[in-house]
Amino acid sequence: MPTPHYGQPRYRVIADELRQRIKGGVIPPGGLLPTESVLTAEFRASRGTIRQAIAVLRDEHLVVTEHGRGTYVNPHQHESRPGDGRETETRQRQVPADPEIAALFAVEAGTTLVEQQDVTRINGAVEAVVRAYRLRREKQ
pLDDT, tens digit, 9 for 90 and up, residues 43-100: 999 999 999 999 999 988 899 888 878 899 987 665 445 556 777 787 878 899 999 9
Which pLDDT belongs to residue 6?
67
Looking at the fold, whether 103 and 63 belong to one and the same domain comes out as no
pLDDT, tens digit, 9 for 90 and up, residues 29-45: 888 999 999 999 999 99
Position 139 pLDDT exceeds 90? no
- 70-77 own/partner pairs: CB under 8 Å, 24+ apart: 70/32, 70/33, 70/35, 71/32, 71/33, 72/30, 72/31, 72/32, 72/33, 73/22, 73/27, 73/28, 73/29, 73/30, 73/31, 73/33, 74/29, 75/29, 75/30, 76/29, 77/29
Give the structural domain span for 93: 86-135
Which pLDDT belongs to residue 48?
96
What pTM, to 2 d.p., does this model score?
Answer: 0.53
Percent of the chain having pLDDT more than 70? 86
- Summary count for the chain: helices (H), strands (E): 4, 5
Position 5 pLDDT exceeds 60? no
CATH code for position 30: 1.10.10.10
Which pLDDT belongs to residue 140?
41
Domain closes at, from 50, 73, 96: 73
For the chain, the domain total comes to 2
DSSP string covering 104-125, please?
Answer: HHTS-TT-EEEEEEEEEEETTE
Strand, coil or helix: what is 49?
A: helix
Looking at the fold, whether 91 and 68 belong to one and the same domain comes out as no
